[in-house]
Structure 1
């Protein structure tokens, strides 16, 4: 564990950039998301709640486990018991700041999208006494032994002078917008280290200690091996509403035809020279990337998590607004995610 928000000497430029990004995000989020989720809800993914409310007639798609049998017997018409969502919501973020998110070839870096998603979650959930906390994970400080498909252009392949332990920071859940802004600053100032973060261990931190039902949001590019994080996400979904926000760069889905590229895996340090003028290679890359994303989507769906994909080359706020609106529409019609 390390202290939240600590930065190494010489990180003033990174801190200034983080503050600038947060200031711009605050304006964007306030303009487009404010008022989006007003009313009787339990956060971004408004669930059925746990407190008993009034009864209403059964409609196709309603959960039969909420049948109100005494009212059904009296009226001879099937009724279900409505439930009122808890007024105090606790939201926890698992923020993956592994080396693979320090990359971007379009309008945003993937790191910026991670911070943007965290800012949007904070804005949507911190009101009325709701609390928000986070666990933040980054690399171990040394290259990992195996790679992933998260390639980027070579920057600096010099290994650090000595190994440092993996970094996972827990930021306690507190109510209020001021506390939420402090949490976002701590996330934005977190230094990204080389090496792979253990996404499974990061998600598992949200399961300990056991908490009352709430919302758990996992923000990552999910490039870590699926078998390492799928089970913790499934476990998380047993008790909480889980939202998985996947950040993607278009170059992770397909290669451009720009000749020979020297690429470095940011998590392992492995180098590859790629001839992007070869159409067969570009086709194989796109097919492998598509299969990788399909495996990620299947694992999240099997875990019962809502899945939102944000790309660095699109309007992420518009994508988020559409996603939230679709979730609310599905809930009000009595359907499931």
Structure 2
């Protein structure tokens, strides 16, 4: 039962009429959903993040610039000792004021995200969270970009003979360059919402590591996923990302990944491998073992995120994700005003 939370009911959409679909097949509807998301975010979250990120306040700045010779009155803390040693003349390092914020999203749209038994699909919550962050940050010259990961790329070479079924690959990554402006942001969100979810397992570690290359100036990095991949796959890239950037990890969870209902024999399928099993949910011991395994799994995810120094926000498909984001942003703002970061 170690991976109990990775399997999902074979028919996960018994009441799909109550959900909002953001799939490529419903492109016109997804446009309306994105517009509605923009209105909701503007009303409830607008202004909560103003002044929260480092480097935007007036002053000399912290980004390294060119060196010049020392002049009387210069701050000795800005001495450029390597250049001073080479030239035998005292030099100071100029700094460039950072007037804009660059935010990068790592959006996981692997097969396990195409599931949901609550008000939303997990995929919808991922897109909604990306939309909220985009509308919050793209202002005042700020830029936002994204790296989107889906399942195995069917065009990727596998080294097998012709006609053989390709095995699950590391996944397909699509990089959307960072741009500013409302129109560009809407284009980025449309590209995320229109991403096709492919079968096979994606590599969450490779997705996170894509934000480390090429190296960028200090900014904000947001990883949106269900984090069902083994922690040893993504924990180290996340710690590496935290060295230079402020990192926010948004974990998307469905209630059926935490506990099983008592509905008799329930067919479940692993969306990433296609394996189908029948589970007797009337057994209370099985349901208890499933819940215990799911609790341990989520505790391990939270511990790895905490160890990486990332802020952790959990969104569920059966609750008001926007209200959860409002509470999280308000708590972060309160923590910063009290002189703490987490």
Shorter chain as normaliser: what TM range?
Answer: 0.7 to 0.9
Q: 1:296 aligns with which of 297, 301, 306?
A: 301
Among 230, 255, 263, the alignment partner of 2:235 is: 230
1:34 paired with 2:46, answer: yes
Structure 1 CA distance for aligned equivalents of residues 265 and 187 of structure 2:
44
Q: Does 1:86 align with 2:98?
A: yes
> Which residues of 2 match residues 1-337 of structure 1 at below 5 A?
13-38=25-50, 40-42=51-53, 51=59, 86-140=98-152, 163=166, 166-337=171-342
TM-score when normalising by structure 1 = 0.77
What SS does structure 1 have at the residue aligned with 2:176?
strand
Contact 2:24 2:195 in 1 (8 A): no
Q: CA–CA distance in 2 between the matches of 1:255 and 1:18?
A: 31
List alignment gaps of at least 5 residues for structure 2: 1-22, 62-74, 78-95, 155-162
Q: CA deviation at 1:49?
A: 7.2
Q: Return the alpha-carbon distance in structure 2 between the equivalents of residues 162 and 34 of structure 1.
A: 49
Q: How many residues align?
A: 279
From the CA coordinates, give the structure whose radius of gyration is larger. 2
**Contact 1:276 1:282 (8 Å CA) reproduced:** yes
SS of residue in 2 equivalent to 1:329: helix
4+ long deviations beyond 3 Å: 46-53, 160-166
Cα drift, residue 69 of structure 1? 12
Residue pair 2:125, 2:317 contacting (<8 A) in 1 also:
yes
Q: Which moved more, 1:18-27 or 1:295-304?
A: 18-27
Please tell me whether the aligned partners of residues 90 and 173 of structure 1 are also in contact (alpha carbons under 8 angstroms): yes
Q: CA RMSD in A?
A: 2.5
Contact 2:143 2:178 in 1 (8 A): yes
Give the TM-score normalised by the residue count of structure 2.
Answer: 0.76
Q: Say if 2:118 and 2:254, in contact at 8 Å, map to a contact too.
A: yes
> C-alpha separation between the residues in 2 aligned to 1:310 and 1:12?
23
When residues 211 and 277 of structure 1 are mapped into structure 2, their CA distance, relative to the original with a 3 A threshold, is: same
1:222-255, Cα deviation, whole Å (9 max, x unpaired)? 0011100000000000000000000000000000
1:91-137 deviations in Å (ceiling 9; x for gaps): 00000000000000010000000000100110111000000000000
Is there any run of 5+ residues in structure 1 with no aligned partner, and where? 1-10, 54-67, 71-83, 143-159
Task: Render the CA deviation track for 1:240-288: whole Å, top value 9, x for unaligned.
Answer: 0000000000000000111111111000111111011111111000000
- Are 1:41 and 1:47, in contact at CA under 8 Å, matched by a contact in 2? no
- Give CA-to-partner distance per residue, 1:272-315, whole Å, 9 cap, x none: 11011111111000000000000000000000000000000111
Q: Aligned partners of 1:13 and 1:226: how far apart in 2?
A: 33
Q: Distance in 2 between matches of 1:48 and 1:129?
A: 11
